[in-house]
Every structure is written in structure tokens, then in C-alpha cells.
Amino acid sequence: MTYKVSAMKLIKASAYISRVSPDLIMSTNTDFSFPGPKGVVIPGTGSYVQSIENVTRKKMFSIRKPNKTRLTGTIESIRHIHPTVNPDRTMVIGDRCDTDIAFGYNNGFKYKLLVGTGVNSLAEVKQFADDKPEDLIPSHFAPSLNGLIRLIFTVLFDLLII
């Protein structure tokens, strides 16, 4: 994510992308916004990706969360070191339901932890729980990463019982 985006840079990117084959275009991050200081919302990379897609009429190949493609190489790389890695025993940790938590669901992770210090809060999750697809609802919530240790012990206990 760069904070030095300008209209000129978007024009330049659109010009380059309009001249190449769609199979050569990839996006790696589509978060539309990020939390900034003092509650300010900062446009994220997804805002720029969508802008360029709209201008060029070309859809970028996604290797981003929540796509499944991104994980395949990651799990295989990890399995070379730790052959027993298993999505049923893996947790994704993130601060955004529409990318991080959806990534966990799309890749079969049993545990999806939403940390409340980022984009989505527990209040928001409760508010949209009835309206949104299940793949956006975390299995666990921690107000901050400080609450992670308690959750780890809970999950470990759960794994030992199963």
C-alpha cells in the first residue's frame, strides 16, 4: 500500500494495463479501506484496483485474500518444513471480515480469529451476522492481540479433546 497515489499514477497504470493481455494482470490486495489515526478511514489498494478495472474494462487475476489460489503455494511450502500442517488445525488471524475471515473459510481453516483493533469490530459482526454470508463471520474474536494467548489455550484445549 502506498500513500503517494495520485491521479497521474492511476492514469499511467490504466494506460499500461489497457495495452497488455488480461492474463498478465494481477492484484494482490483488495482491501477497500484501512483504519487510520483518530478514526480516519484511509482508501486501500482495492479502491485503486477497482478504479483501474473500471477504466480499462479488464478484470485483474486475483492472488489476494480471500481467494483460494493464494494459499495453495503457501501450504505446500509450509508442508516441506512441517509435513503435518492441516487446515483443520490452522487459524487465520485478521482484522477484516471480507478478506481475512473469508480467506479462512475459503481455505477450510477451522479457526478464524477477528481482532477488534482493525477494520471490523465485534459490534459490526453482531450487526451483520443475520444479513451477511456465513463466510464473513469469524469463529473467534479477540479485542486485541493481547487476548490471543487466552484464545490459543482455548483452541489447544479444544484440539486435545477432539
Strands (E), 2-142: 26-27, 33-35, 41-43, 61-62, 91-94, 111-115, 140-142
CA dist 61 and 124 (Å) reads 30
Q: What is the pLDDT of residue 33?
A: 83
Q: What is the pLDDT of residue 62?
A: 67
Nearest CA among 56, 34, 57 for reference residue 45 = 34
Q: Residues 6 or more apart from 140 whose CB is under 8 A from it?
A: 91, 111, 112, 113, 114, 151, 154, 155
Q: What is the pLDDT of residue 105?
A: 85
CB 102 within 8 A of CB 135: yes
Chain-centre distance of CA 102, in angstroms?
7
Which CATH code of 3.40.50.1000, 3.40.1280.10, 3.40.50.360, 3.30.110.40 fits the domain covering 69-161?
A: 3.40.50.1000
Q: What is the mean pLDDT of each run of 10 residues along the chain (162 residues)?
A: 80 87 70 82 86 88 62 57 74 86 83 88 84 85 80 71 56
Sort strands 41-43 and 33-35 into parallel, antiparallel or unpaired. antiparallel
Q: What is the pLDDT of residue 80?
A: 62
In the three-class reduction of DSSP (H, G, I as helix; E, B as strand; rest coil), residue 46 is classed as: helix
**∠60-23-45 over CA atoms, to 5°?**
20
In this prediction the pTM is: 0.61
Chain-centre distance of CA 63, in angstroms?
11
- Which CATH number does 7-62 carry? 3.40.50.1000
Chain-centre distance of CA 151, in angstroms?
20
Q: Do domains 7-62 and 69-161 have the same CATH topology?
A: yes
Q: DSSP code of 98?
A: I
Q: What are the residue boundaries of the structural domains of the chain, listed by start?
A: 7-62, 69-161
